[in-house]
Every structure is written in C-alpha cells, then in structure tokens.
Structure 1
Amino acid sequence: MPTALITGATAGLGAAFARRLAADAYSLVLVARDELRLAKAADQLKLRYGVNVEVLPADLATEEGLAKVESRLHEGVDLLVNNAGFGNPGAFPHVPVEHEVRMLKVHCEAVLRLTLAALPGMRERERGAIVNVASVAAFFARSTYSASKAWVVNFSESAANAVGGSRVRIMALCPGFVRTEFHQRASMDTSGIPGFLWLKADDVVREAMRDLALGKRVSVPDLRYKAIVAVGRFVPRSVQSMVSSRIGR
C-alpha cells in the first residue's frame, strides 16, 4: 500500500487531498499544527476509508517542526503534498516583518527542505511524486504571498528538470480562488471576487491528480484560470496590479 504525507492536512486542499488519496487506498501521514484537529481528521478517514492514518503534529515555521517532518520523510513515502500555507492580514509593506518571514519559512524553506528529504528515497526506489501547492497568484506581482508562490513554481520546475529521466515526478499546483478557510483566516475581504471564479477543493485535487499522472510540471486547474494565466502573460504589470487590488488579494 503506497504512503502519502500531506502538510496542512486538516482543512481546505490538504483535507481534500487526504480524502482523495484515502479513497485511492493510500496510507496517510497527516501533518498540521493542531493536534486535536489532526486526531479528529484521522479518525474520520479511518472510519470512512479503512486506511492507515498517522498523525504528525508540527509547526513548519519552526526548526523543531521542520526537523520532525524531515525525519519522517527519510523513512520513505510515495507521495509528498507540500500544501501548508497561509496569507497575512494586511498588505505589503504594512505587515510586520516577522509575519512575512514566517510566511517565507512555510512557503519556501519548508517546501525546499521537505522536497530534499523525500527525494533520496524516491530516487532510490525509482518511483514517487511531489506536489507543491502554489497559486495562480504566482503569475501576478502582488504581495509577499504571490512572490513566495512564484518561488514555489520556479523551484518545482527546476527540481523536476533536475530529476528528469527518472520515474520521480515533481509538480507545482496553481489553483485560483478555492472555497476553504484560507481567506477567513487571513482576514481577507472576498466580497469583490465574482462567484464564477470560486473553485471546489475536491475538483482542484481531482484535476491535480490527473495532471500529475500526465506528467505535467505545472498544473492550473480549471479552464477559467488557464485563460486568466494565459492572458496575464501579455498584460502589463501595472494593469495586473490594478485588477488584483479591485477583486482582492
């Protein structure tokens, strides 16, 4: 039975990945900060899908938390989903620097270190996959959040090139607006976001797993967002920023 480790596994896309992979008969290692929510999520998955579920409480913004997850990855997994992430209330440059640094640690350092921890075992077994959750925001210049997600996309493509020729796959997943706790936790006003731009977490994960199977290195779920990213490549940064500020971060 294959094993998947998912960070940020108790809500949103992380929980959707857990449901999908449990349905596909993966054993799961769930990583999140909240031990009580982890235990509840594990119990529900075991009851519904009959799979093995291991919980690993860890804060990826801390050295202790990162080291704990790295140690588990050294034991070997077949799929790593680097999903943990968050948005800061407020906009640059008004966000406290310690909050921005914490974001970079979770979005960038954790993705780097956990990828490096998982890769040796995957390459030795000549199989495995890593999904690094980024965002459509990666393709537009707005805030430290979008900058950190742009790093995730570039890193994922670079890492995929480095392991090219093997059966190990690395993919950046770039969803648009997804109905999760993310925006509420970041105190973001989503009233200006048109209803048709919202995606369901389970739909995003379904497309992500399809794109991973197809060997894609960057996945942008949904035709609407594929079109937005394609058009955005030809729109001046100043226009991008104006539109982004009107519909939300």
Structure 2
Amino acid sequence: MTVPESDGAQIEVVRVFTDQAGRFGNPLGIVRHAAVAGVDHQALAARVGYSETVVVDDPADGRVRMRIYTPAVELPFAGHPSVGTAWWLSDQRQPVHIIDVPAGPVEVTSTDGITWARARAEWTPDFEFHEFEDAAEIATLDPGDFPEGKHYCWGWTNEPRGAIRSRMFAPAMGVAEDEATGAAAVRLTALLTRGLKITQGEGSQIFTEWDSDGWARVGGRVVADHPIVV
C-alpha cells in the first residue's frame, strides 16, 4: 500500500539544456527510489510540479533504471530527464552508459561539456507539430491558446545551419508550457532527418544529431540547482 505523498523527501534539482552561460534550462526533479519506496510517485511528481520528475534506482554495472513522471502522467521516455539524470549521476561519481526507461535502453555519453542521450523517435509522445514561416511569431503565442493536446511550435531561424526557434505546450501532460523538450527535438530531428540547433522557451539550447533508421541523439548543457523538500 502506498501513501499519496512524501513526508520530507529531498528532491535533487538540475536545469537541463541551459545556454553557454548556464542560464535558462528546464528544471528536473531527481529522487532515489530508496528514498520514496512507499510513496505514490505520480502524486509526488504532481507536488513537485516540474515538467518531469524522475525516480532513479541505484546504478549497477554502468546502467540504471529510471521512471519518468510529468505532473499528470508517466512517460516511457523523455529527453530532458535522460540528459539531466546522466549528467547528475556522473556528477555524483556514479556514471552510467545506459539508462533503462520503460521505452528501452537509452545510451548516454558526454563530450566537451555536452551530455547526449540516444533514443528512437517512436519512443516520444505524439506531438502535433506547427511550423511557422516567421519564427518571430512564436514569441507571441499564449499557452491559453492550447487548452488540450501536445503542441510543438517551431520555425527556422537559419535553415542552412539547422537553427530553429520553438515553444511547446502540453496540457495533456499537465504542462502548460515546457521550457525545453528533448523528446520533441528527437521527433523533429527524425522527421527532418538532420541535426538541429534549437532555442526553446526563454532561451534554452538543445542540440540534436540524426543517426539513422529512427535513431537520434539529443544533447545539451546541465547545471545543478538547489534541492527542494516536499
């Protein structure tokens, strides 16, 4: 039997997909499974309120199991939790090469300050993509214009260089607006079959690489933030 909430559980927090100066980024809540073994994880994520909170097992043999929760639903895969957790475990001196999520094994690496996660496009949620001819219009959008569903709005800022501007609204997942969305970046990379340099939300930065046959890599910078207690 589980209880609906946690009494005093400490949630570690990192910001994923920051810019080069460590600004912006999407907060991610991280908690060890042992610390919340008798807790309703979905209710915990709702209390934390970030777009995603993860429950992580203890790593073994270079891999770790992880569950991912938005405030409303559990996800089989998500990009910013995969990148953020890989960085955090490395920072904790428990680096892994594989994160096992319900969708499958996510390979993680780090190069030149960028943490990467490799995933398949079909693991991502079923986003509705809206391409804007004028990327400047994306800044004028209001989350209230998207009362349901999962909407990724994007436009080229420099198509030859693969640079785009984007915002994402996902009330279906309990997220009015997401600051930086790795799973949508994976799906768009697969749709366009090319690597991208994405500026999302207030200024978060996401990088992707097209691999092949439905595989893509998503990466970015991560910084530690202040833990919270719920």
Q: Same fold (TM over 0.5)?
A: no
Tell me the TM-score normalised to structure 1 length.
Answer: 0.28
Higher relative contact order (CA 8 A, sep 6+): 2
Higher CA-based Rg: 1
Q: Which has the higher helix share?
A: 1
Q: Which has the higher strand share?
A: 2
